[in-house]
């Protein structure tokens, strides 16, 4: 380690703990000195510091040593007293304030912690700390418990102008004027005196002075009197190059010429005097005193005997004296003398001697409980240890002991503790124990807030300088210090400390800390009136989501207040309030693709793309990949998005309020730049007029400019998120760039947000943007205004019931000056909507659906193909002229319940308007809510007895909650079927209307007309065929709805195709259309006509119907005389093959009904006994009732197995096989033998059939059913005993 | 139960990932930020001490006036910092150990990104219950 004396603490000690010389002077002396702008002490002070005095010193030991450094401290006698506390404080405060002002102006913030650390240490540590500490230590000088501030000598100065200088000398050392230290016997009043006669050369000749000196020498002794002549310069023009007085006169003005009358000779004279005073008088005096005192101390205290005596004596004294400050020691008490001895030794650099004496006295003081003195001695011991550079531990222990002891004294020792702490901290700093030093500084903090603030700041620097730097602590202590400064109204200091802490807390996620720092800096800057800076700091805390509601309110309120005080509207680039979700940015623009509504814009582009695929020419224009599109459209147009002048671009932005309080946002608008298109300008001459000015308007909604910007205002509740749609409408061609968005918070601050700042993925709805940079997504080529069709479907219901059938009108209006033509339309869901004929536009609904008497069937299915492709071409001659509109009928049918999206896109072309765009499309999107209405289900079953007739059961359930439907009609589609009611509806449903929740079941007879026609060999005219059945009032003459004409038939085809049916079905599949009506006035519809509901059911077929049907025919009742052995009954089975394949049928008869598998075996084994009665339980089976084959198979074993008595046997063939040609019928004779009278169920036979397809062109459904087994159905035969006997 | 206690979990990047005022004393606005300041400042000391011992519980490492900072450092250098005004070292140790277990459970959650904020309310309630139990 370096020499302790050269460390900061060592230097400080060598400066501060030095002999004090009391100066007494007459007013004339001061007057002479003041000519130079200096007081006497100031004049002499520069010459009191001897860096190389080189004086041999011999203290207690016999070995002399050489003293190198020596310093005298000069004080006026009036200053030798304990400084006034208030004055001292005031002075310190002034020092701090002064520094604060100075530093505040020139402070520059290091923005990074690294920068902070990279600076040299000396630069980092503010120099004023040293100064402040010195001042603080000085406030404690001349305390009575320490001896090093006691004057060693007294310098009496008298001017040669004074009358009777010798008497003046005597007067000067008058006890009345002497400081209290000498008077109250705290120190020895007999101190060394030195007499100085000051002669001002301006006042007179030197010889008078020499005479006076001679008198003085006579009076006070030869050696102790001296004379100084000064002010030798007459004109006072002497300018000292390096002003020696500057450090001693801090308040000197720079213009002031200090020492102007002193020439070089004067200075040398003063210098020599001071050197002589110290080396010839003061040092020898001190040496001598040390020796004397040392002898005394040795005599009384050294040695074993003295120690014992002392100990015993003090023990005895313990009981008697117990004052709070301990006993009072006069200067001649041995304790004081030891202390003086120690201090003198210390001042003369004999630290060993000093230490031994301090040790000696400290135990005494401790025993005497003279705590303050004890602490003082401990403090000195610590310093001595330090200067001896021995035993660090002891030094620290002593300092800590002293510090704690001072603290124990309470407020009395507080300031001493501060001084001790300062020294201690310095000591630790010297030894690179910065962390400990910081702790000491922290402990110094006491009741004086201002001093604490400085101490805390010093502590923070200790943390900063420690290795490794403890930045967290640094920041914390800076903040603490700032708080203390603020409490003392040292706002500038407070701001400075907080600002120094910012780099530490920069980017921290300790949110409360960050908020605290920034909020307070902001507040304090506002207090100073520096609102601009205040605002920037307040901005940091604005979006503090983690804070409580009250804090957020406070932040916002203060922020707005500050902004208000600035008196201008701030434009803040990164205003956090409200938060803009950049990724939510959505730009909706229209090039050739236009939207009829906002809903259409939100639909996925791919959906439209697939819809428009075969409609727009762009895909067809590019026949192969070599022919790039860039040939068709200039390259630069491809790269940027295109929009049309006069048409608004919409931008959706999401704003979020992160706070819990309400904020109001106003004047939200886009920031856009519209610049001339450079290439366009070069080519065309049209724009030349506007070329001259650079049309770059970034400003807000200036109507006259070429941009129209929308402004939106809203307020956000806490945590609320809202999406705002902003629009910009370019009015002229050029290149439009959306730069960002701006808004006004609480109508005070303007927030700006540039979209380019965050290159996060932006969702641009339109446009192919893979090859684009994000910024070019916001760049648009504005082209000349083009016609734009507006499309609207009138009275399209948002909510309707399933089955709703109605005409709608599509209105296309053209606002522009140019006609459009070549219209095409495509509808995504033709089940719900398709285009009608123009002549249907004004047709009367629903009358137009009714059957006309003169039916023209031609062209009814003309647009089947059209609807299947969903593409509707408007007639060639249709065009929408300028500023007109076109209406076109549409048919609407709510096919299925649910939420149904409808997409309609209309293609149109315009001619000669733009080279870039030849066509446009209009996209419309509607969402329908279709509620379930009537649930219609059909069940078709064959009539077992009649193969060409079917029984149709229709179940209708009203699933609505409130509506009441009127059933109207049921129609079968096509000419093939004849339908008739089995019983009139009146009997089932007298009111003809179906109320909510009600259900209806009707039975119909369905006849295959084609079949019947073959059998009957007559072709009935078509008009007579009843393919419709009226379900409504029978007397109603209202015509049927024509299911085979345009809208119904078309929708039916759609239904068929959507239900996955081919239009050529099997002949046994029937399609039904059920039509109901909702009476007028029930719905809140504008039209009075009843609403028509059509329900389509396709491909109804008898459940599990086999292609083979048969009929057993024969007598039902037979009378037989059973005296004859048996009764033979002949039956006939007619088998029909209704399929298109060759069927081979195998009829197995078996006598036992129990099992199908082993019919013959069972029949033989379980031969019934004769006596048993043939009357067996017969299941009550109604002939009219439909019994499916499955039902029979289950029933047969169950009902008859118990009896299991076949009362008849099949005679003749038990197994018959035959082959049936497609659609042919065959008859097979059957015979049974009956033995007893009874009723017989002739159902125990089985038909096995196998279909062999004629060709492979059969559909899959038929192929699956290529073989099957059918159980026979019941045929009841009653055999009676004939009464008469032959 | 201590009157003042502030518990913070600090990730290895010095980011607080969980904060809870678990003291029984009435909450004060400025107290919360003072607690943050003190705990934040104590990070320096933790940095020094963490490598001098193999124990995870570093005991009371720092103090500010009458507030004491106790720290527990996990193997992943996540620091559990407790600011308290009571002297109950055993309780604090148990508290830390149990919180460590909870923290490990959080870490095991595949949806939790280590070093991100712990938002689990279950964790929060558990920690508060532990604080009531031990502190």
Cα–Cα nearest to A1110, from A943, A906, A950, A879: A943
Q: What's the DSSP call for residue A277?
A: I
CA dist A823 and A919 (Å) reads 10
> Does residue A163 or residue B95 have the better pLDDT?
B95
Band of residue A1019 on the pLDDT scale cut at 50, 70, 90:
very low
Instruction: Please report the domains of chain B, with CATH numbers, ordered by start residue.
Output: 5-134 (3.30.450.70)
Task: Report pLDDT for A700.
Answer: 40
Are A818 and A942 contained in the same domain? no
pLDDT in tens, A312-355: 776 555 544 445 555 667 777 777 888 888 888 888 888 888 88
Sign of CA dihedral A1261, A1265, A1271, A1272: positive
Task: Report pLDDT for A1206.
Answer: 58
Q: Does A476 touch chain B (CB under 8 A)?
A: yes
Instruction: Give yes or no for a contact between B105 and B88, defined as CB atoms under 8 angstroms apart.
Output: no
Which residues in chain B have Cβ-Cβ distances shorter than 8 Å to A550? 29
Count the neighbouring beta carbons within 10 Å of the beta carbon of residue A675.
13
Band of residue B97 on the pLDDT scale cut at 50, 70, 90:
very high
CATH number of the domain at A1053, please. Answer: 2.60.40.1230
pLDDT at A769 over 50: no
Task: Report pLDDT for B73.
Answer: 92
Band of residue A1026 on the pLDDT scale cut at 50, 70, 90:
low
User: Is A980 among the domain residues?
Assistant: yes
Task: Report pLDDT for A315.
Answer: 59
pLDDT at A690 over 50: no
Please report the beta strands in A774-837, taking only residues with DSSP state E, as ranges in sequence order. 779-783, 789-794, 799-801, 804-814, 820-827, 833-835
Q: Does A475 touch chain B (CB under 8 A)?
A: yes
* Residue A1011, token pair as written in the block: 């079949």
User: Is A881 among the domain residues?
Assistant: yes
Stretch A753-781: mean pLDDT = 54
**Distance of residue A555 Cα from the nearest chain B Cα, in angstroms:** 13
Share above pLDDT 90 across residues of chain A, in percent, rounded to a whole number: 0
CB pair distance less than 8 Å for B44 and A463: yes
Name the residue in chain B with its Cα closest to that of A546: B19
Q: Which of B15, B32, B41 sits opposite A476 (nearest CB)?
A: B41
What is the residue whose two structure tokens read 């359930």? A957
Are A1087 and A943 contained in the same domain? yes
Are A972 and A995 contained in the same domain? yes
Task: Report pLDDT for B96.
Answer: 92
Q: Which of A463, A513, A551 sits opposite B36 (nearest CB)?
A: A513
pLDDT in tens, A1191-1217: 344 333 433 444 445 567 777 666 778
Are A841 and A956 contained in the same domain? no
Are A1089 and A1042 contained in the same domain? yes
CA dist A584 and A581 (Å) reads 5
Band of residue A37 on the pLDDT scale cut at 50, 70, 90:
confident
Q: Does B90 touch chain A (CB under 8 A)?
A: no
CA dist A917 and A818 (Å) reads 14
**Distance of residue A462 Cα from the nearest chain B Cα, in angstroms:** 13
Which residues in chain A have Cβ-Cβ distances shorter than 8 Å to B42? 472
Cα–Cα nearest to A577, from A598, A557, A604, A600: A557
Task: Report pLDDT for B108.
Answer: 92
How many structural domains comprise chain A?
Answer: 5
- A416 three-class SS: helix
Task: Report pLDDT for B98.
Answer: 92
CB pair distance less than 8 Å for B37 and A550: no
**Distance of residue A193 Cα from the nearest chain B Cα, in angstroms:** 52
Which residues in chain B have Cβ-Cβ distances shorter than 8 Å to A548? 29
Task: Report pLDDT for A1024.
Answer: 46
What is the residue whose two structure tokens read 């509901």? A1093
CB pair distance less than 8 Å for B42 and A472: yes
CB pair distance less than 8 Å for B37 and A476: yes
A514-523, A825-834, A1009-1018, A1272-1281, range with the lowest pLDDT: A1009-1018
Q: Does A443 touch chain B (CB under 8 A)?
A: no
Are A806 and A901 contained in the same domain? yes
Q: Does A423 touch chain B (CB under 8 A)?
A: no
Which residues in chain A have Cβ-Cβ distances shorter than 8 Å to B27? none
Are A961 and A1081 contained in the same domain? yes
Stretch A1006-1013: mean pLDDT = 63
Q: Which of B14, B29, B37 sits opposite A548 (nearest CB)?
A: B29
Q: Does A473 touch chain B (CB under 8 A)?
A: yes
Which residues in chain A have Cβ-Cβ distances shorter than 8 Å to B33? 512-513, 515-516
User: Is A539 among the domain residues?
Assistant: yes
CATH number of the domain at A911, please. Answer: 2.60.40.10
pLDDT at A973 over 80: no
Band of residue B102 on the pLDDT scale cut at 50, 70, 90:
very high
A698-702, A1218-1222, B131-135, range with the lowest pLDDT: A698-702
* Residue A438, token pair as written in the block: 């910081």
Q: Does B42 touch chain A (CB under 8 A)?
A: yes
pLDDT in tens, A220-259: 877 778 888 877 777 666 676 667 776 666 555 555 666 6
Q: Does A506 touch chain B (CB under 8 A)?
A: no
pLDDT in tens, A1041-1095: 777 777 777 777 777 777 665 544 445 677 788 888 877 644 444 555 677 888 8
Q: Which of B32, B33, B40 sits opposite A472 (nearest CB)?
A: B40
> Does residue B71 or residue A1 have the better pLDDT?
B71
Q: Which DSSP string corresponds to A603-614? A: S-HHHHHHHHTT
pLDDT at A738 over 90: no
Instruction: Give yes or no for a contact between A676 and A622, defined as CB atoms under 8 angstroms apart.
Output: no
Which residues in chain B have Cβ-Cβ distances shorter than 8 Å to A473? 41, 44-45
pLDDT at B101 over 90: yes
Stretch A758-780: mean pLDDT = 50
Q: Which DSSP string corresponds to B9-44? A: EE-TTS-EEEEEE--SSPP-HHHHHHHHHHHHHHHH
User: Is A872 among the domain residues?
Assistant: yes
User: Is A1004 among the domain residues?
Assistant: yes
Q: Does A471 touch chain B (CB under 8 A)?
A: yes
Band of residue A183 on the pLDDT scale cut at 50, 70, 90:
low
> Does residue A950 or residue B96 have the better pLDDT?
B96
Q: Which of B15, B38, B42 sits opposite A509 (nearest CB)?
A: B15
Band of residue A1178 on the pLDDT scale cut at 50, 70, 90:
very low
Task: Report pLDDT for B103.
Answer: 92
Are A997 and A1037 contained in the same domain? yes
CB pair distance less than 8 Å for B44 and A471: yes
CB pair distance less than 8 Å for B41 and A473: yes
Characterize the bridge pairing of strands A1238-1241 and A749-754: unpaired
Name the residue in chain B with its Cα closest to that of A479: B37
Beta bridge partners of A318: none
CB pair distance less than 8 Å for B40 and A475: yes
Stretch A196-207: mean pLDDT = 78
Instruction: Give yes or no for a contact between A1226 and A1218, defined as CB atoms under 8 angstroms apart.
Output: yes
pLDDT in tens, B103-116: 999 999 999 998 88
* Residue B110, token pair as written in the block: 């595949």
Interface probe with B: pick from A484, A510, A523, A551, most Cβ of B within 10 Å: A510
Task: Report pLDDT for A321.
Answer: 47
pLDDT at A358 over 80: yes
CB pair distance less than 8 Å for A512 and B33: yes
Q: Which DSSP string corresponds to A682-728? A: HH-STTHHHHSS-----SS--TTSSEEE--EEEEE-TT-EEEEEEEE
Which residues in chain B have Cβ-Cβ distances shorter than 8 Å to A509? 15-16
Per-chain mean pLDDT for chain A? 73
Task: Report pLDDT for B125.
Answer: 92
pLDDT at A399 over 60: yes
pLDDT at A4 over 80: no
Q: Which of B14, B32, B41 sits opposite A512 (nearest CB)?
A: B32
pLDDT in tens, A1106-1141: 667 777 778 878 887 777 777 788 888 888 777 777
**Distance of residue A452 Cα from the nearest chain B Cα, in angstroms:** 14
Stretch A935-957: mean pLDDT = 75
Cα–Cα nearest to A139, from A83, A77, A81: A83
Task: Report pLDDT for A327.
Answer: 61
ipTM of the complex: 0.93
Count the neighbouring beta carbons within 10 Å of the beta carbon of residue A793.
18
**CA A657 vs CA A182, A629, A719, A1072, A1099: distances in Å:** 75, 46, 5, 58, 59
Q: Does A541 touch chain B (CB under 8 A)?
A: no
**Distance of residue B129 Cα from the nearest chain A Cα, in angstroms:** 23
Task: Report pLDDT for A560.
Answer: 83
SS3 of A199-221: the string is EECCCCCHHHHHHHHHHHHHHHC
CA dist A806 and A811 (Å) reads 16
User: Is A947 among the domain residues?
Assistant: yes
Interface probe with A: pick from B27, B37, B46, B62, most Cβ of A within 10 Å: B37
CB pair distance less than 8 Å for A510 and B41: no
pLDDT at A73 over 60: yes
**CA A187 vs CA A179, A215, A333, A413: distances in Å:** 10, 31, 10, 21
Name the residue in chain A with its Cα closest to that of B63: A439
pLDDT at A1015 over 60: no
Are A909 and A988 contained in the same domain? no
Q: Which DSSP string corresponds to B87-123? A: --HHHHHHHHHHHHHHHHHHHH-TTPPTTS----HHH
User: Is A478 among the domain residues?
Assistant: no
Task: Report pLDDT for A870.
Answer: 66
CB pair distance less than 8 Å for B44 and A513: no
Are A644 and A526 contained in the same domain? no
Are A751 and A719 contained in the same domain? yes
Stretch A550-566: mean pLDDT = 83
Identify whether A920 is preceded by a cis peptide bond (ω within 30 of 0). Answer: no
Torsion from C-alpha of B100, B105, B108, B109, nearest 10 degrees: -130
Q: Does B93 touch chain A (CB under 8 A)?
A: no
Q: What's the DSSP call for residue A945?
A: S
Task: Report pLDDT for A855.
Answer: 44
Q: Does A482 touch chain B (CB under 8 A)?
A: no
Name the residue in chain A with its Cα closest to that of B64: A442
Q: Give the structural domain span for A1036.
A: 934-1010+1025-1057+1068-1100
- A505 three-class SS: helix
Task: Report pLDDT for A945.
Answer: 56
Task: Report pLDDT for B72.
Answer: 92
Q: What's the DSSP call for residue A1096?
A: E
Task: Report pLDDT for A1079.
Answer: 74
pLDDT in tens, A107-148: 555 556 666 666 666 666 777 787 788 777 777 777 777 777
Are A546 and A663 contained in the same domain? no
User: Is A583 among the domain residues?
Assistant: yes
pLDDT at A1159 over 60: no
């Amino acid at each position: 380690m370096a020499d302790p004396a050269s460390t900061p603490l060592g230097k400080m000690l060598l400066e501060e703990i030095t002999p004090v010389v009391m100066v007494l002077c007459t007013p004339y002396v001061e007057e002479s000195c003041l000519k130079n702008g200096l007081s006497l002490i100031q004049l002499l002070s520069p010459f009191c510091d001897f860096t190389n005095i080189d004086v041999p010193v011999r203290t207690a030991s016999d070995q002399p040593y050489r003293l190198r450094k020596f310093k005298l401290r000069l004080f006026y006698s009036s200053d030798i007293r304990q400084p006034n506390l208030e004055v001292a404080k005031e002075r310190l405060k002034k020092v701090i304030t002064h520094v604060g002002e100075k530093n505040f102006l020139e402070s520059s913030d290091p923005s990074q912690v690294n920068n902070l650390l990279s600076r040299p240490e000396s630069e980092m540590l503010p120099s004023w700390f040293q100064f402040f500490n010195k001042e603080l230590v000085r406030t404690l000088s001349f305390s009575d418990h320490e001896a090093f501030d006691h004057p060693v000598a007294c310098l009496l100065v008298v001017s040669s102008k004074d009358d009777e200088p010798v008497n003046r000398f005597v007067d000067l050392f008058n006890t009345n004027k002497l400081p209290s230290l000498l008077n109250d016997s705290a120190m020895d009043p007999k101190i060394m005196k030195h007499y100085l006669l000051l002669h001002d050369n301006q006042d007179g000749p030197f010889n008078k002075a020499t005479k006076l000196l001679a008198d003085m020498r006579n009076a006070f002794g030869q050696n102790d009197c001296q004379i100084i002549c000064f002010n030798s310069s007459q004109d006072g023009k002497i300018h000292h190059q390096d002003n020696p007085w500057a450090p001693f006169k801090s308040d000197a003005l720079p213009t002031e010429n200090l020492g102007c009358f002193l020439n070089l000779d004067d200075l040398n004279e003063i210098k020599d005097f001071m050197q002589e005073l110290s080396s010839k008088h003061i040092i020898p005096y001190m040496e001598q005193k040390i020796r004397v005192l040392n002898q005394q101390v040795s005599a009384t205290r050294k040695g074993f005997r003295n120690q014992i005596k002392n100990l015993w004596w003090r023990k005895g004294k313990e009981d008697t004296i117990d004052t709070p400050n301990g006993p009072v020691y006069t200067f001649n008490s041995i304790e004081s003398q030891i202390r003086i001895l120690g201090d003198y030794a210390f001042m003369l650099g004999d630290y060993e001697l000093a230490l031994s004496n301090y040790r000696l006295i400290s135990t005494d003081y401790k025993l005497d409980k003279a705590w303050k003195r004890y602490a003082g001695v401990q403090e000195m011991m610590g310093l001595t240890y330090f200067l001896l550079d021995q035993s660090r531990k002891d030094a620290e222990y002593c300092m800590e002991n002293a510090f704690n002891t001072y603290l124990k004294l309470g407020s009395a020792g507080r300031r001493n503790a501060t001084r001790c702490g300062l020294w201690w901290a310095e000591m630790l700093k010297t030894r690179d124990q910065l962390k400990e030093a910081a702790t000491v500084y922290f402990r110094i903090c006491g009741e004086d807030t201002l001093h604490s603030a400085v101490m805390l700041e010093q502590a923070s620097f200790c943390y900063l300088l420690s290795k490794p730097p403890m930045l967290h602590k640094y920041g914390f202590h800076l903040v603490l210090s700032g708080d203390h400064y603020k409490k003392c109204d040292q706002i500038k200091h407070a701001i400075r400390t907080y600002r120094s802490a910012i780099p530490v807390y920069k980017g921290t996620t300790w949110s409360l800390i960050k908020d605290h720092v920034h909020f307070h800096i902001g507040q304090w800057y506002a207090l100073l009136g520096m609102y601009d800076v205040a605002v920037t700091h307040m901005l940091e805390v604005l979006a503090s989501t983690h804070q409580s509601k009250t804090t957020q309110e406070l932040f916002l309120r203060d922020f707005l207040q500050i902004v208000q005080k600035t008196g201008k509207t701030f434009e803040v680039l990164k205003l956090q309030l409200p938060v803009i979700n950049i990724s939510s940015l959505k730009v909706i623009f229209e090039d050739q693709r236009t939207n009829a509504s906002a809903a259409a814009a939100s639909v996925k582009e791919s959906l439209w793309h697939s819809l428009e695929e075969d409609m727009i020419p762009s895909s067809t224009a590019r026949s192969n990949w070599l022919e790039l599109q860039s040939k068709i459209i200039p390259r630069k147009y491809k790269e940027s998005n295109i929009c049309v002048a006069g048409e608004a671009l919409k931008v959706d932005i999401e704003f979020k309020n992160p706070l819990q309080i309400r904020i109001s946002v106003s004047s939200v608008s886009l920031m856009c730049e519209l610049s001339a298109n450079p290439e366009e300008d070069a080519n065309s001459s049209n724009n030349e007029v506007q070329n001259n000015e650079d049309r770059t308007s970034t400003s807000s909604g200036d109507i006259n400019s070429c941009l129209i910007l929308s402004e939106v205002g809203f307020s956000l509740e806490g945590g609320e998120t809202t999406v705002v749609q902003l629009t910009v409408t370019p009015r002229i061609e050029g290149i439009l760039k959306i730069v960002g968005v701006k808004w006004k918070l609480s109508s005070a601050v303007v927030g700006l947000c540039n979209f380019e700042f965050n290159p996060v993925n932006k969702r641009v709805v339109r446009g192919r943007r893979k090859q684009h940079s994000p910024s070019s997504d916001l760049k648009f080529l504005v082209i000349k205004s083009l016609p734009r069709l507006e499309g609207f479907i009138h009275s399209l219901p948002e909510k309707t019931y399933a089955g709703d059938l109605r005409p709608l009108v599509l209105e296309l209006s053209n606002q522009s000056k140019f006609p459009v033509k070549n219209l095409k339309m495509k509808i995504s869901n033709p089940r719900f909507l398709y285009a009608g004929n123009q002549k249907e536009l004004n047709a009367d609904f629903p009358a137009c659906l009714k059957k006309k008497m003169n039916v023209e069937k031609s062209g009814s299915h003309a647009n089947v193909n059209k609807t299947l492709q969903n593409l509707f071409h408007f007639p060639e001659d249709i065009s929408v002229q300028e500023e007109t509109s076109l209406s076109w009928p549409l048919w609407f049918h709510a096919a299925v319940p649910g939420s149904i999206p409808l997409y309609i896109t209309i293609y149109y072309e315009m001619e000669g308007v733009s080279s870039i765009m030849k066509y446009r499309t209009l996209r419309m999107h509607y969402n329908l809510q279709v509620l379930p209405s009537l649930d219609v289900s059909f069940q078709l079953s064959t009539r077992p007895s009649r193969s060409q007739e079917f029984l149709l059961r229709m179940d209708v359930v009203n699933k609505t909650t409130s509506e009441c439907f009127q059933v109207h009609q049921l129609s079968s589609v096509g000419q093939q079927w004849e339908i008739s009611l089995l019983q009139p509806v009146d009997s089932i449903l007298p009111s003809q209307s179906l109320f909510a929740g009600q259900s209806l079941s009707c039975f119909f007879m369905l006849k295959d007309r084609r079949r019947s026609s073959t059998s009957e060999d007559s072709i009935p005219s078509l008009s007579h065929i009843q393919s419709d059945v009226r379900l409504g009032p029978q007397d109603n003459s209202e015509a049927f709805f024509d299911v085979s004409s345009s809208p119904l038939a078309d929708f039916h085809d759609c239904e068929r195709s959507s239900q996955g049916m081919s239009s050529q079905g099997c002949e046994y599949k029937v399609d039904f259309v059920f039509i109901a009506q909702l009476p007028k006035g029930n719905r809140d519809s504008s039209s009075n006509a009843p609403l028509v509901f059509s329900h389509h059911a396709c491909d109804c077929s008898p459940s599990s119907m086999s292609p083979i049907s048969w009929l057993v025919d024969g007598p039902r009742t037979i009378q037989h005389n059973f005296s004859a052995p048996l009764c033979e009954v002949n039956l006939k089975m007619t088998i029909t093959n209704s399929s298109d394949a060759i069927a081979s049928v195998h009829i197995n008869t078996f006598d036992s009904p129990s099992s199908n598998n082993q019919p013959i075996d069972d029949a033989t084994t379980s031969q019934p006994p004769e006596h048993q009665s043939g009357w067996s339980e017969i299941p009550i089976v109604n002939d009219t009732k439909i019994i499916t084959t499955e039902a029979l198979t289950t029933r047969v074993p169950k009902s008859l197995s118990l009896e299991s008595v076949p009362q008849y046997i099949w005679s003749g063939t038990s197994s018959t096989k035959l082959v049936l040609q497609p659609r042919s019928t065959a008859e097979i004779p059957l015979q049974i033998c009956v033995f007893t009278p009874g009723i017989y169920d002739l159902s125990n036979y089985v038909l096995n059939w196998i279909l062999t397809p004629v060709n492979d062109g059969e559909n899959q459904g038929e192929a699956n059913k290529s073989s099957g087994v059918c159980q026979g159905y019941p045929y009841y035969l009653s055999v009676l005993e004939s009464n008469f006997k032959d | 139960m201590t009157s003042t206690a502030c518990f913070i979990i600090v990730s290895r990047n010095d980011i607080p990932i969980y904060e809870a005022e678990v003291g029984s004393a009435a909450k004060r606005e400025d107290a919360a930020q003072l607690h943050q300041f003190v705990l934040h400042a104590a990070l320096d000391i933790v940095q020094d001490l963490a490598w001098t011992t193999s124990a995870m519980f570093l005991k009371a490492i720092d103090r500010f006036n009458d507030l004491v900072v106790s720290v527990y450092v996990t193997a992943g250098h996540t620091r559990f910092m407790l600011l308290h005004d009571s002297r109950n070292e055993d309780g604090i140790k148990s508290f830390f150990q149990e919180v460590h277990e909870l923290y490990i459970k959080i870490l095991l959650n595949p949806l939790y990104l280590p070093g991100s904020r712990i938002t689990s309310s279950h964790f929060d309630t558990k920690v508060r219950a532990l604080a009531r139990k031990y502190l």
